[in-house]
Amino acid sequence: MKDSWASGDPYEYFMGRWSRLVARSFTDWLSPPTGLKWLDVGCGSGALSKAVINNHEPAEIAAIDQSEGFVAKAQKQLGSLARCRVGNALALPLEDSSVDITVSGLVLNFISEPERALDEMRRVTVPGGTVALYVWVTLERWNFSIYFGTSQPN
């Protein structure tokens, strides 16, 4: 599994079923209205974006990841329903206040400057919009949990 965290297929084989389960639970937990403009930061193979598309009728969804391999896999899975592109969470390639809701799944743990990434997510989200994410919480002896959290940009 060479380069497994930069390629969509090996990641999908190892984590895909878990990513899809938590993505569905997360978007249901958010309980968003339909017709929103979404951004998925660190989209990976597209599980979170797919849950949004399948269950929440977005007006549009942009999916960004720094890995070309993941972006290619996500675009293949999501088709024309999403705009997937390579980008960095520390300098999101979107205009200020351009999305209604920004989401990120299982990514913040792996970003070198998580506070800066959160600032970028807030920047691109409309005032009164939602920034929501879930992260790995590692407990003793490698037991994993998932934490859901939200923020309302000013």
Which pLDDT value is given to residue 4? Answer: 46
Strands 60-65 and 83-86, bridge-based pairing? parallel
- Binning pLDDT at 50, 70 and 90, where does residue 39 land? very high
Nearest to 58 by CA among 83, 26, 22: 83
**Residue 103 token pair:** 């989401």
Tell me what pLDDT residue 64 has.
97
pLDDT in tens, 94-123: 999 999 999 999 888 889 999 999 999 999
- pTM of the entire predicted model: 0.83
- Residue 63: CB atoms within 10 Å: 29
The full set of domains in the chain, from first to last, is: 8-151 (3.40.50.150)
User: pLDDT, tens digit, for every residue of 1-35?
Assistant: 344 455 555 556 555 556 667 888 899 999 999 99
